């Protein structure tokens, strides 16, 4: 019988792609989301709090709510993914969700995932703190009470170890390797890890903690099957990570803006590899009481190297690209390598794709279609989340 | 000029004693509390949530709200301690409190401090998670924005390292020594430590993290000055720690109930030593960007040893005492030593008092006055927070 997988945060960038990928591979998928991002966060706003920040994000092309897109998915693929709207900050709703679905595995993408968002104001930090730690804690509580056999696959981040990494190699699989978060968002992921470690130890839960790197890439085989299945593409300073922002800048003829010296390195992974990692994690559940930590990256690249790859892919499409060094709103070491062990997923079956290949074959040709819709004003709003400028 | 110290959680057991102690020693003290414990938590209830647990706690003798007791303090000591009611879960209130008072140091006792309380239900765990992590994070945010020179003295717990400790000695001063919390309460303290470490590093704050052991003892020189200044004494299964519970059992002629084998060890400290530690911590602020971790205990005792000392002190007062081994509601190793380095406070001036001395000279003679008010029904409610019995 097919494994039943509950994908939380299924309206988001990774969650959507993972839900379809798993469904296509024969898993019995149930998708859930609270739509808080499209309802409030996309405008940098908060639940129950009026933000002073008027500016908002807008996706490059319309992306319908997950439950509507899943109707198309069923038509196109013949596979049904049931959708349940649920608020994971509520213990009662988490319990009901697990009781209703009875999953073998839960994949938890349903957290506020932007470091700049968490730095917009103290209230944005608190919203991130509540959303992320409450959802993870509630899942652990509910699993421990309902069925400790349920495997929790939780998305953490390589950023738990810090932008300016340790001298030593960052180990793979270590629960106790020192954490050095550098934003409220990263802090919440470290806090989640504390909850995961405790609850698996006390209640003998099966927990996988994925330290995911920066995910790039727009399409997977599944999201490319129909325009209504497209994944969201963020390129603004709050939600868009560096590869997306560079791609958008290149296509509107603006210089790629490198924050600071550009020597800062990031662990990265393509979306297609990331969803395969989720599948591999599900297929390799830890023993009861174990917590498996996996570093979910396939390459380490400096910001400068990323700019070079984006420029090269654009030039193949006939688009000339400049780069410019500019003010860095983050507090970080701008010249550092990143020493990370990350062979674990390859050992259990991952066949990684490269940044170069993904940009040239998939991402930039896809984005060219929407070139005229890119809003240059969204490219320049990164400094509203400035790590350095603080005032009471 | 006197150092200005803001004591948060000043209506509580440690906060009240610390506020008076610091005031008596010439510090310019401002006291604050939100009174949530007396308003809701004492009945095991929650803000905005109706608990199914009807039973409630009751202090052994009336303890008026801190702002009323401070009127007596001024009359008795001639020293003024200003009181401000504030809700630290609100960033705006934390900012206003710091701006209004302009302290040199902030002592943060204002957290939900009971592991059994945090285990009463998932909602009690979430209340603890919110109250503790929000208050600490808000203080760090506000200090970083208003005045990074303010020294934050934050109460953590030895329990961050676990009830069943590591093979190795627990270091003193290490930020990265592995944490193994064993209740939602302890988990939140570990999460706080993550926030402290990050914010001091990014914004160059001065942070002291005190890993306090189990505090025992009722009176300090200051609280003993007038009946209206008495500190609260909890002896129920939720708020009363083991030494208080044993003392109350002994005085009503019930056997001292040792959970499990009784070989489990705890780091302990008397209240009079604990408030002196707070003074010493304030007088030794870390450099900007530094986080000093101090293990705030003076002795290590097994639960069996504690029972023996309580029995011995009672027998001197003519009270015969039995002990009984019973069901342990906690999940823990019941026979372990505790290897901890904790000489730091002695090096900077602490002269510790022993458990034996404090019980015999101060606590049990004091409690004898209220012997007839002890409610045996409160002594037997510990199993309502059972680590083992879980159901959805």
Give me the pLDDT at residue B1, please: 84
B130 CB neighbours in chain A (<8 A) are 130, 134
B303 phi and psi, to 5 degrees?
-60, -40
Q: What is the mean predicted confidence (pLDDT) over B130-144?
A: 98
Structure-block tokens of residue B285: 């602020």
- Per-residue model confidence (pLDDT) at position B229: 97
Residues 6+ apart with CB under 8 A from A287: A206
Gyration radius of chain B's alpha carbons: 20
Give pTM, 2 decimals: 0.96
Residue range B365-382: mean pLDDT, rounded: 86
Q: How much is the pLDDT for A200?
A: 97
Q: Which two tokens stand for residue A161?
A: 């170890």
Instruction: From chain A, pick out residues whose CB is under 8 angstroms from the CB of B178.
Output: 175-176
Structural contact between residues B55 and B381, judged by C-beta atoms closer than 8 angstroms: yes
Length of chain A in terms of residues written: 392
Residue A369's contacts (CB-CB under 8 Å, 6 or more residues apart) are: none
Q: Of A197-206, A371-380, B159-168, which one has max mean pLDDT?
A: A197-206
pLDDT attached to residue B264: 87
**pLDDT band with cut points at 50, 70 and 90 for residue B78:** very high
Return all residues near A241 (Cβ < 8 A) that are at least 6 apart: A214, A215, A216, A234
Provide, rounded to the nearest whole percent, the portion of chain A with pLDDT above 70: 94
What is the model's pLDDT at position B327?
A: 85
Exactly one of B157, B223, B298, B358 is catalytic; name it.
B157
At B379, list the tokens: 């002594």
Residue A86 φ then ψ, to 5°: -150, 150
User: Which residues have C-beta within 8 Å of that of residue B254, sequence separation ≥ 6?
Assistant: B376, B379
Which of A49-63, B72-86, B187-201, B337-351 has the least mean pLDDT?
A49-63
Closest residue, chain B, to A387 (C-alpha): B202
The dihedral region occupied by B114, where left means phi > 0, alpha psi between -120 and 50, and beta the remainder, is beta
* pLDDT attached to residue B98: 98
Asked if A216 and A209 count as a contact pair (C-beta separation under 8 A), the reply is no
User: What's the pLDDT score for residue B237?
Assistant: 84
Residues 6+ apart with CB under 8 A from A114: A185, A238, A239
Choose, from B13, B185, B216, B259, the residue flagged as catalytic. B185
pLDDT of A389 above 90: no
Q: What is the mean pLDDT of chain A?
A: 92
pLDDT at position B51, please? Answer: 57
Residue B53: predicted pLDDT: 55
* A47 pLDDT tier (thresholds 50, 70, 90): confident
**pLDDT band per the 50, 70, 90 thresholds, residue B355:** very high
Cβ within 8 Å, pair B182-A202: yes
Q: What is the pLDDT of residue A309?
A: 95
Within B181-302, residue ranges assigned H as helices are 184-203, 242-251, 271-283
Residue A295 has pLDDT above 80, yes or no: yes
Mean pLDDT of all residues in A49-54:
58
Chain B residues bordering chain A (beta-carbon distance below 8 Å): 91, 95, 99, 122-123, 125-126, 129-130, 133-134, 137-138, 141-142, 144-146, 175-176, 178-182, 184, 186-187, 190-191, 194-195, 197-198, 201-203, 331, 387, 390-392
pLDDT at A1: 84
Reported confidence tier of residue A126, pLDDT bands at 50, 70, 90: very high
Report the candidate in A123, A273, A284 with the shortest Cα–Cα distance to residue A212.
Answer: A273
pLDDT, tens only, A148-172: 999 999 999 999 998 665 567 888 9
Check if the beta carbon of residue A187 is closer than 8 Å to that of residue B193: no
Query: Which tokens belong to B139?
Result: 């203080």
pLDDT value of residue A52: 56
Where is average pLDDT lowest: B12-16, B120-124, B169-173, B313-317? B169-173
- Residue A392 predicted with pLDDT over 60: no
Residue B122 and residue A144: Cβ atoms within 8 Å?
A: no
What per-residue confidence (pLDDT) applies to B168?
Answer: 75
pLDDT value at residue A339 = 87
Task: Give A246 to chain B, closest Cα distance, Å.
Answer: 27
Q: How far is B130 from chain A (nearest CA, A)?
A: 7
pLDDT at position B331: 75
Model pLDDT, residue B52 = 55
Tell me how far apart the alpha carbons of residues A292 and A285 are, in angstroms, rounded to a whole number.
Answer: 8
Q: Torsion-angle region of residue B35: left (phi > 0), alpha (psi -120 to 50) or beta? A: left
What is the reported pLDDT for A313?
Answer: 94
Can you give the pLDDT at residue A383? 57
What confidence score (pLDDT) does residue B163 get? 66
Between chain A and chain B, the number of residue pairs with CB atoms below 8 A apart is: 99
Q: H helices of chain A, where? A: 13-24, 36-39, 66-77, 91-101, 115-118, 122-146, 184-203, 242-251, 271-283, 303-316, 344-347, 355-358, 364-368, 376-379
| Rounded percentage of chain A residues whose pLDDT exceeds 90 | 79
Q: Do A138 and B123 touch (CB under 8 A)?
A: no
> CA-to-CA distance for A205 and A292, rounded, in angstroms?
11
Question: In the predicted model, is pLDDT for residue A146 greater than 70?
Answer: yes
β pairing state of A263-270 and A299-302:
antiparallel
B353-358, Cβ contacts within 8 angstroms, sequence gap of 24 or more: B353/B270, B353/B272, B353/B273, B353/B298, B354/B298, B354/B299, B355/B216, B355/B243, B355/B268, B355/B270, B355/B299, B355/B301, B355/B306, B355/B309, B356/B309, B356/B312, B356/B313, B358/B216, B358/B217, B358/B270, B358/B272
What angle, rounded to 10 degrees, do the helices at B271-283 and B13-24 form? Answer: 60
pLDDT in tens, A9-32: 999 999 999 999 999 999 999 999
Residue A379 binned pLDDT confidence (cut-offs 50, 70, 90): confident
Q: What is the dihedral of CA A306, A309, A311, A312, to 10 degrees?
A: 170
Mean pLDDT for A113-130 is 95
For residue B379, what pLDDT is reported?
84
CB atoms within 10 A of CB B346: 12
């Amino acid at each position: 019988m097919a494994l039943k997988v509950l994908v939380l945060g299924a309206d988001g960038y990774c969650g959507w792609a993972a839900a379809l990928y798993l469904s296509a591979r024969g898993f019995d998928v149930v998708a859930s989301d609270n739509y808080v991002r499209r309802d409030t966060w996309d405008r940098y706003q908060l639940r129950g709090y009026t933000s002073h920040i008027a500016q908002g994000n807008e996706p490059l092309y319309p992306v319908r709510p997950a439950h509507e897109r899943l109707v198309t998915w069923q038509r196109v693929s013949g596979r049904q993914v049931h959708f349940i709207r649920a608020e994971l900050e509520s213990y009662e709703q988490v319990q009901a969700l697990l009781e209703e679905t009875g999953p073998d595995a839960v994949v938890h993408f349903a957290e506020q995932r932007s470091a700049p968002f968490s730095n917009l104001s103290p209230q944005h930090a608190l919203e991130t703190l509540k959303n992320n730690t409450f959802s993870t804690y509630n899942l652990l509580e509910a699993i421990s009470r309902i069925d400790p056999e349920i495997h929790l696959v939780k998305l953490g981040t390589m950023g738990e170890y810090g932008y300016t990494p340790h001298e030593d190699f960052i180990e793979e699989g270590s629960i106790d390797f020192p954490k050095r978060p550098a934003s409220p968002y990263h802090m919440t992921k470290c806090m989640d890890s504390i909850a995961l470690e405790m609850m698996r130890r006390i209640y003998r839960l099966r927990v996988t903690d994925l330290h995911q790197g920066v995910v790039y890439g727009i399409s997977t085989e599944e999201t490319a099957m129909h325009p209504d299945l497209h994944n969201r593409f963020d390129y603004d300073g709050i939600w868009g990570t560096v590869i997306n922002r560079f791609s958008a800048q290149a296509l509107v003829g603006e210089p790629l803006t490198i924050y600071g010296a550009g020597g800062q390195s990031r662990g990265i992974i393509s979306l297609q590899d990331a969803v395969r990692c989720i599948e591999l994690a599900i297929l390799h559940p830890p023993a009861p009481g174990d917590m498996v930590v996996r570093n979910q990256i396939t390459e380490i690249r400096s910001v400068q190297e990323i700019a070079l790859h984006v420029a090269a892919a654009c030039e193949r499409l006939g688009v000339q690209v400049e780069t410019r060094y500019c003010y860095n709103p983050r507090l970080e070491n701008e010249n550092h390598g990143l020493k990370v062990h990350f062979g674990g997923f390859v050992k259990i079956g991952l066949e990684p794709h490269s940044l170069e290949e993904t940009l040239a074959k998939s991402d930039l040709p896809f984005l060219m279609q929407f070139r005229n819709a890119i809003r240059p004003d969204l490219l320049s709003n990164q400094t509203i989340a400035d790590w350095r400028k603080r005032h009471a």
